Amino acid sequence: MKLTIYGGRRLFGDLKVEGAKNAALPLLAATLLTDDDVFLQNIPDVGDVRTMIQILEHLGKRVEPAHPRDSYLIRTVEPPPSSAPEYLVRKLRASFCLFGPLVARTGKAQISLPGGCPIGVRPVDLHLKGLRALGAQIESLGNLFHAQAERLHPAEIYLDFPSVGATEQIMMTAALIPGRTVISNAAQDPEVHDLARLLIKMGAGIMIEPGRLIIEGAPHLQGTSHRVIPDRIAAGTFLIAGAIAGGDVTVHCQPLHLEALMSKLDELGFEIQEHVESIRIISEGPGSYGGGRVEARPYPGFATDLQPQMMALLALARGTSTIKETVWESRFSQAAELAQMGARIRVDGATATIEGVERLRGTVVRGSDTRAGAALVLAGLAAEGVTTVIDSEGHIARGYADLAGALNGLGADIILEEASEEKEVVASGRE
């Protein structure tokens, strides 16, 4: 895929973000915990979700599109096997969260080390620690993990790091184990709480406390219906787009999920208006705002998935800015590409120092992961001339249903070309 961005257009208008990809994926995985029908609404049409649906259909589910749009009815057509197809698992980091539900349902499971964006080492040790504490016997052979459990049992588990994936893995598995499981130092992201709400509807008891989750498991879980929360990362991306391009943009979302971003944008000098279900940003564009310090941390800290977009914004700020990444050690791939556009960025380990410049210039750059690709598109909005973002692996579409179309709807000028024989233009804001 290739995105061609004609820079210099300010953005105006409002948009509603899709459902959260990072919430939808574990919600879909949780449907393995029951044979009953589960109806999910506001599922985003992104690449990662399509991959998860494919995996579920290999695991005995039929996933039917339903009304209203972006809804699915997940039905059981046969008992789940104990293994997921390796070629699909390797496409998707979130596929590893199927491991625990498969063990809970079948007493054994086999899964390969997952794939996803190349943003650093993604250990699964906390997942394995949690499942072992619940009674699973796990062995690894190369990139394959095998688990067996004659009888799972509740446990008290402390996570050395508040891993979202490990928290979700343990919570789903414990939901099908009668008794009380406690996860201390659990992740408290909105997506984790959304999964908890689904599991409660399915019959589990879950209590959310500061720093920990208490799960009262049940011997059987039932079907239910659930609506996915709005995507806070997509919402943040569009707010940063309004900031860097200049203009007046309103994003319909859940503001409580974006407090760290709003605080930082306010600190930089943007006008931010928070409403019950929307956020408005008013910006004069490049050079109208100051620099600052950003530290990507687990929620409720500044989201690591918004750090690359913030780097693009700070490249055009007045003065010097710093970004520290504490979640992933290889999440500065966008820095070298932004430098090709004229940004002045120095990376030293987990810290990037950005000297603001007056302007960026359009050129050809490459997006190596979902959020880095989005950051380069945002930089192109404010750059002089034409920016071409090469996304040969389709990373951007894994996390955004239609990034180009949404930005064009606000007044951007972006042409999206699919990597097909005819290279047909599928989205354009040009007149």
Is 97 annotated as catalytic? no
Three-class SS of 254-276: CHHHHHHHHHHHHHHCCEEEECC
Distance CA 198, CA 223 (A): 10
Q: Residue-wise over 132-145: b if at least 16 C-beta within 10 A, else e?
A: ebbbbebeeeeeeb
Closest residue by Cα to residue 170 from 36, 30, 54, 328 = 30
Q: In what helix (H) or strand (E) does residue 179 lie, and over which residues does it extend?
A: strand 179-184
CA distance 212 to 108: 27
Encoded amino acid at 303, one letter: A
Distance of CA 221 to CAs 118, 201, 205, 229, Å?
Answer: 35, 9, 11, 22
- One-character DSSP codes across 233-245: HHHHHHHHHHHHH
Report residue 411: phi and psi, to 5°. Answer: 115, 5
Q: What residue type is 288 in one-letter code?
A: S
What is the rounded CA–CA span in Å between residue 176 and residue 215?
Answer: 10
Which helix (H) or strand (E) segment is 40 a member of? strand 38-41
Among residues 25, 102, 117, 131, the one annotated as catalytic is 117
The DSSP code sequence of 317-371 is SBSEEEEEESS-TT--HHHHHHHHTT-EEEEETTEEEEE--S--B--EEE--SHH
For residues 12 and 250, give the distance between their C-alpha atoms in angstroms, rounded to a whole number.
8
Q: How far is CA 152 from the centre of its chain?
A: 30
Q: Which residues does the annotation mark as catalytic? A: 117
